[in-house]
Chains A and B, each alone.
Chain A
Amino acid sequence: KAGVTQTPRYLIKTRGQQVTLSCSPISGHRSVSWYQQTPGQGLQFLFEYFSETQRNKGNFPGRFSGRQFSNSRSEMNVSTLELGDSALYLCASSRTQGLGSSGANVLTFGAGSRLTVL
Chain B
Amino acid sequence: DAKTTQPTSMDCAEGRAANLPCNHSTISGNEYVYWYRQIHSQGPQYIIHGLKNNETNEMASLIITEDRKSSTLILPHATLRDTAVYYCIVRVGSGGSNYKLTFGKGTLLTVNP
Contact = CB atoms under 8 A, between A and B. Distances in A.
Nearest to A46: B100
A65 interface: no
> Which bucket holds chain B's interface residue count?
20 to 34
Contacts of A33: 100-101
B45 interface: yes
Contacts of B102: 45
Contact of A56 (B42, B87, B100): B100
Contact of A98 (B45, B49, B99): B99
A31 B74 CA distance: 30
A107 interface: yes
Interface residues of A, number: 27
B105 interface: yes
Interface in B98-112: 98-106
Contacts of A88: 41
B101 A45 contact: yes
A81 B5 CA distance: 33
The 5 residue pairs across chains A and B that have the minimum distance between CB atoms: A109-B43, A98-B99, A43-B103, A99-B95, A104-B32
Interface of A: 4, 33, 35, 42-45, 48, 55-56, 58, 88, 90, 92, 97-99, 103-112
Given A45-B102, A56-B100, A110-B43, 6 more contacts: A4-B43, A33-B101, A42-B106, A43-B44, A48-B99, A112-B42
